Chains A and B, each alone.
Chain A
Amino acid sequence: MIRRLGVSGAIALAALAVLLLAIAWPGLVAPGDPLAISPAEGFRPPSAAHPFGTDESGRDILTRIVHGASASAGIGLAATALGIGLGLVLGFAAGLGPAWLDAALGRIIEVLFALPTLVMALLLVAVLGAGAGSSILAIGLATAPGYARILRSRVRGVARSDYVGYARLEGDGPLTLFRRHIAPNTLWPLVSTATLGIGQAIVWVSALSFLGLGSPPPSPEWGAMLNAGRVYISTGWWMTVFPGLAIVVTAVVLTVLGRRLAGAGR
């Protein structure tokens, strides 16, 4: 198992375990209260008592990052689920539908894919209003064309393959073909796509929060912490660097694992 993962894969898996622990049981990793303010302790640089320093209200950054993991990962997960769900509908409709539908949907998917993700998300947030729910909806909708694009080409590839042709010759109906051949062969590779996608979604959601359009301030969501720290960037570097590092590490870990999974599937 370790040998197949490689060194980078093993490190990524270990980091993922820490992340999952922080999501499942934040109190075990960091026993403090992420929202408890103590103004006298404000703007402390990293020290033994506060390894990642404290923010403007004296809240411990490390505690906040650990407790914010579930919010950041949860929003990223929900957005990815929405994006993949929509992508599945569009991708399967295009890949399995009649030629005219495929041509029409294919074009639409390409154009939507080309619209910058964040620009599309900002349009949706402007209409829906800021907040965690809008972030999920906006990033989910904005990333859906990318998934639809991948699924469409994958479904088309499988549907036109020889073994599906033979199964059809043997008299398998469309439902049997879908259940026995097309679905398993297109859905399994989705695991790696989704792994990569969650990392990307966490980055996009954090970007929205960074712009002040995500979770509101006291929340320890990583992007929101970045947005709060942005004002103090020249005086309190730790308020920006550590929450950002949590996002980057999570994204890199999920990218490395996603690529390993894609490689293993081949």
Chain B
Amino acid sequence: MRGRSARAIPPWRTALRWVLARVGGALLVVWLVATIVFFALRSSGDPLEAILGGPGSQAGPEAVEAARREYGLDQPLVVQYLLQLWRVATLQLGDSYARRQPVADLIAEQLPGTLLLAALALAAAWALAVTGAIVSTSARGRIGAIVNATLRGIEIVATVMPGFWLGAVLILVFATSLGWFPATSQGSHPAGLVLPVLTLAVPIAGFLAQVSRDALLEADAAPFAVTARARGAGEPRVLLRHTLRHASLPALALSGWAFGNLLSGAVVVEVLFARPGLGRLLQDGALSRDVPLVIGAVTVVAVLYVAVVVLTDVVELFVDPRLRGPRPAALRAPDVAVGS
């Protein structure tokens, strides 16, 4: 998907195709989410029981009747499936059984906090990754080799570092021992955001750094960089005007993936730092087996993902002018392989 979006996108016909492809992608996401939910509910045995909070739920007869009607459980399977599809497509998220509140309200209330956290973490990851890439490409000679090896090691450890442990260690060092930052986080209070944002950013930064370092090294040896140096451009100028832009492309293309990863991480981080948000809502929903709430949250996450992919596509257009007009194939951005 990412590779495809990094192709030439010129006049209105290609632009239209691009829009259609994105809309198609969004519809596919909706269909998949609805289908997964449908089969997951049926695989649990009794879907009605699952919706109402699992075995031993305390649902009254009117709640049972309401859920049966809402999900069309007295209808044939095909109708139930289409109904599920329609509900997801029109973002009808229903009511949370456990909290007796509309799911949409609950999510709308918690979403801004999580978005703020994810956006800050993505920015921090970018800053860390780009700094790492610049340091490791500009360090030369023997010291450069040592710096490089160290950075590579840090990157591997950072990439596999689970948020629940990194966050715990950060709390122990910076909250319990040093007392620099609070161990809990709420809203947009800046001091409380530092540790959660770091916890989320480090693993992603490790991954982005690996990708952008390779791209920066490649751009550094490219003819245009050599020419710029031959014309007498200094290193900062070569970096800022020529190579950095290239180095940011693969990492930029990965930002959609990184955002998804951030939402996974947000569940753990919000629980660890007792921070209200979509992730805590999800954990709470899974713990109390509040299926409508969890389905709603997953649907919103899927929609968010589509939005972020569109956004990164647009940013890519700004960063890489080659994508704006048809050009010889040799000049196109390299296809990026995404690791899992």
> Could you list which residues of chain A lie within 8 angstroms of chain B, going by C-beta atoms?
8, 107-108, 110-120, 122-130, 143, 146-147, 149-150, 199-200, 203, 206-207, 210-213, 226, 230, 233-234, 237, 240-241, 244-245, 247-248, 251-252, 255-256, 259
Contacts and interface: CB of A to CB of B under 8 A. Distances in A.
Given A118-B268, A226-B164, 17 more contacts: A111-B1, A115-B33, A118-B264, A119-B264, A122-B267, A122-B294, A123-B37, A127-B40, A128-B44, A146-B340, A199-B160, A203-B162, A230-B168, A244-B162, A244-B164, A248-B157, A255-B156
B188 interface: no
Contacts of A256: 156
Given A146-B340, A207-B162, A248-B165, A126 B289 contact: yes
Contact of B160 (A8, A143, A200, A244): A200
Contacts of A117: 264
B287 A255 contact: no
A124 B159 CA distance: 25
Nearest to B29: A111
Contact of A119 (B171, B282, B340): B282
A251 B158 CA distance: 11
Nearest to A208: B286
B264 A247 contact: no
A247 B267 contact: no
Nearest to B35: A108
20 contacts: A114-B260, A116-B261, A119-B301, A122-B282, A127-B294, A150-B340, A199-B160, A200-B160, A203-B162, A207-B162, A207-B164, A213-B286, A241-B172, A245-B165, A247-B162, A248-B161, A248-B162, A255-B159, A255-B160, A259-B156
Nearest to B268: A207
Interface string B274-302: 00000000110111011100110110011
Contact of A122 (B1, B265, B283, B340): B283
A191 B331 CA distance: 36
Nearest to A256: B156
A112 B1 contact: no
A245 B157 CA distance: 12
A200 B156 CA distance: 13
B146 interface: no
A115 B168 contact: no
B153 to A, nearest CB: 8
Contact of B268 (A210, A245, A248): A210
B40 A113 contact: no
A230 B156 contact: no
A200 B291 CA distance: 27
Contacts of A251: 160, 162
Contacts of B50: 127
Contact of A127 (B33, B44, B159, B340): B44
A114 B263 CA distance: 11
Interface string B77-101: 0000000000000000000000000
Contacts of B265: 118
Given A112-B32, A114-B305, A126 B160 contact: no
Contacts of A252: 156-157, 160
A44 to B, nearest CB: 18
A147 B165 CA distance: 26
Nearest to A239: B168
A124 B36 CA distance: 9
Given A123-B294, A126-B291, A206 B260 contact: no
Nearest to B297: A119
B159 to A, nearest CB: 8
B176 A234 contact: yes
Contacts of B305: 114-116
A155 to B, nearest CB: 15
Contacts of B44: 127-128
Contact of B40 (A124, A130, A230): A124
A147 B289 CA distance: 29
A74 to B, nearest CB: 18
Interface in B216-270: 256-257, 260-261, 263-265, 267-268
A129 B55 CA distance: 9
A122 to B, nearest CB: 4
B302 to A, nearest CB: 6
Contacts of B295: 123
Nearest to A248: B165
